[in-house]
Structure 1
Amino acid sequence: MAAVVLVHGLYHRPEHFAVVAERLRATGSEVVVPELHRGSLSADTAAVQAVIDALPEPPLVLGHSYGGSVITGVRGAGHLVYLAAFVPDAGESAAGLGGASPQLQDAIVREPDGSTSLHPDRAIDALYGDCPEPLATRAAGLLRTQAPGCGRGVPDHQAWKHTPSTYVVCAQDRAIDPGLQRTMASRCTDVREWHTGHSPFVGQPDLVVQLLRELLATHTPPGRDEAITTTP
């Protein structure tokens, strides 16, 4: 069985995927959740690439939100999952595609050193508005400061052009416009739509687990040589 790599978004941490990771591991899957926050899109992508390269076969790689920009730039994935995520084409960035919604922008607090953080109450409304209160509060408490510029990073290549991909549109999303999500989803092999907010791994983790288990069961990963391609 292929491994699963879970890639979080801006302001998030690997701990946000803890329940999903735990439930997948309970069914025998190897799960890796790398820490981003390396200071740039290229550095974040390199961190995820190192994880992929260390695995014995091409993994299933999920990117949430900004994590979509990260997984777009990797090589060697067996299947890509974009969860309410950005799917940049050549020369595009998350910010250039539309970036955060006005509601999420309103939650951003700009720090003196150029980094940004999120106002907790406004973050709950934008990111976890459909989640039970205790879970939303815990998730907001895990959010961390974000270095400037990551959302303006442009991936070096577009993995979705040559790797099977699934896009999950979150129809009640208040952080990334669902209409924008549907436009980006047209670039992927398969599209699902859930009636959730931006962070179903917090409020409805079983939805995420069920999808990943389905993909693990139905998608046979290519060999390592097939998955690593020089296609730009």
Structure 2
Amino acid sequence: MRGGAVLVHGLYHRPGHFAAVADGLRARGIKVVVPELHRGSLAADTAAVQAAVDALDRQPLLLGHSYGGSVITGVRGACHLVYLSAFVPDVGESAAALGGASAQLRDAVVPGEGPDGTTHLDPGRAADVLYDDCPGPLAARAVGLLRPQAPGCGRGVPVHHSWKLTPSTYVVRAGDRAIDPAPQRALAARCTGVREWPTGHSPFVSRPALVVDLVAELLGAVSSRT
């Protein structure tokens, strides 16, 4: 395999949400790095992921979920990009400007009590929007891992646009209740290849084997060309 896989979570999420995928990939001998975001801005999150990529001895596959798509768009040095119902910004675009968030997701956002604009997701609504196709215990664990989100990250604009130079795969989720499938399909047109799964927003929780198989397949294709 090339340089393994770097998995990039979305807003409100943590590296722990990718635990089942990371374990599945490591069981196949694939090195996995899952950086922690929530660093206050898209620029800071991108720098953290870039540092993780630069620390590897070979080019990795970069996978971004939701907001994580904006992050991996600005990172250089990947052998392949995977966008899981993620934002694929072009020049001057931000995730917020691209839109696509469902009414259900917007209704789940709860403003914080402090003056800094921090928000969190209502636990009951988050389970229905993000993890609707997960068994109850898995959904409850995933909701328990969610954390508050500082404002501004979604309005960040990437400096680089790696999808213009790097092979990429977009995974549309036909059953997504958080990001409407129609905008996903429009963004998918910017990528080299497109897959469509009948899952909800978070297949790394509900169907981790799907994600593991995809990453392993794409890394194998890269290795066969080198």
Q: Which residue number in structure 1 is paired with residue 145 of structure 2?
A: 142
Give the counterpart of 1:192 among 192, 195, 200. Answer: 195
Matches of 1:77 and 1:217, distance apart in 2: 14
Change beyond 3 A, Cα 1:196–1:190: same
- Give the CA deviation at 1:71: 0.2
Matches of 1:221 and 1:156, distance apart in 2: 31
- Give the CA deviation at 1:220: 3.2
Q: Is the 8 A contact 2:100 2:183 kept in 1?
A: no
* 2:100 aligned with 1:78: no
Quick one: which amino acid aligns to residue 135 of structure 1?
L
Relative to the length of structure 2, the TM-score reads 0.96
* 2:189 aligned with 1:168: no
Matches of 2:62 and 2:162, distance apart in 1: 11
Runs (4+) of structure 1 exceeding 4 A deviation are none
Matches of 2:5 and 2:91, distance apart in 1: 26
- Give the CA deviation at 1:133: 0.8
- Give the CA deviation at 1:101: 1.4
* 2:96 aligned with 1:91: no
Matches of 2:35 and 2:100, distance apart in 1: 23
SS in 2 for 1:146: coil
Q: Which residue number in structure 1 is paired with residue 162 of structure 2?
A: 159
Q: Which residue number in structure 1 is paired with residue 217 of structure 2?
A: 214
SS in 2 for 1:20: helix
* 2:117 aligned with 1:122: no
Q: Which residue number in structure 2 is paired with residue 181 of structure 1?
A: 184
Q: Which residue number in structure 1 is paired with residue 60 of structure 2?
A: 59
Q: Is the 8 A contact 1:7 1:62 kept in 2?
A: yes
% identical aligned pairs: 71
Relative to the length of structure 1, the TM-score reads 0.94
The number of residues matched between the two structures is 223
Quick one: which amino acid aligns to residue 157 of structure 1?
H
Unaligned runs of 5+ in 2: none
- Give the CA deviation at 1:53: 0.5
Show CA shifts across 1:79-111 (max 9, x none): 000001000000001010015211101000111
